Amino acid sequence: MTVQPIILLDDGGVMNDNRLRRDQWPPLVGEFFAPRLGGTIEAWAEANRTVVQHFMDLASWLQRLEAAADYTHFEQTYWLDWLQGMAQLVQVPLPSVQECIQLAREAEEYIIPHVHSAFPGVCEAIKQLHAEDYVLHTASGESSVHLTHYLGAMQVRHCFGQLYGPDLLNTFKTGPDYYAQIFAQLQIAPGDALIVDDNPGAISWASSLGARTVLVGASKATDNKTIQINNLAELPDLLQGLT
């Protein structure tokens, strides 16, 4: 790897531990909604666990993505289903649709900066890569708004250029076209990019276009060109060994 690559980092599973997020979100959901809509913090927290668990079922999630006309439609439908599902379980009335959308947006803006779920050593590794003049962007299934808040809480937002998510690309992270859109926007060849992800499927999509790839975690890569590491904290040393 003689040419310094442009690094595209996934978030959940690479920079942040989704299990910690899953534990930290429910009480924060309760803190936000209980004073505004009624019910107890505990009831909202439990309702959030129930609703999100259903949403995260793979078949349900894929169906939700396929039904969306674009990212804006997906986001607003998600917010409405999320808030309506929780309110039904907490047994509280809801305001108008537009007010629900606004409340859900405000809830995320409140909750995400309070979530601290970075894997050990990740913030330090990102700052080191930035100090070594690597160009960093995200390549995540999360929106750029979410990424801004998560990276802000990690105090590493300044290390990144574009926070690519489906909202900026109007393309969901469900196939090679997601990465093709990023490469086109950055005006780079796929081989100039290093994709870092915990999902072997995403790694396969990027690799099929010619990108260099690093798989994070215990899952097995589907090709023998992908390098595997246990934690993003290992990436700076890995890159030094390849130059």
Q: What is the pLDDT of residues 89-118, one digit of tens each?
A: 999 999 999 999 999 999 999 999 999 999
DSSP H helices, the chain, are 18-37, 41-55, 58-67, 71-90, 97-111, 122-131, 144-153, 166-169, 176-186, 200-209, 235-242
DSSP state of 133: T
In this structure, are strands 6-9 and 136-139 parallel, antiparallel, or unpaired?
parallel
Cβ–Cβ under 8 Å, residues 115 and 25? yes
Same domain, 159 and 55: no
Q: What is the pLDDT of residues 12-31, one digit of tens each?
A: 999 999 999 999 999 999 99
Same domain, 205 and 97: no
Cβ–Cβ under 8 Å, residues 179 and 190? yes
> Has residue 1 been placed in a domain?
no
Same domain, 202 and 122: yes
Cβ–Cβ under 8 Å, residues 4 and 134? yes
Interatomic CA distance for residues 16 and 14, integer angstroms = 6
Domain containing residue 218: 6-16+118-242
Q: What is the pLDDT of residues 126-171, one digit of tens each?
A: 999 999 999 999 999 999 999 999 999 999 999 999 999 999 999 9
Same domain, 70 and 108: yes
pTM of the model: 0.94
Same domain, 104 and 149: no
> Has residue 203 been placed in a domain?
yes
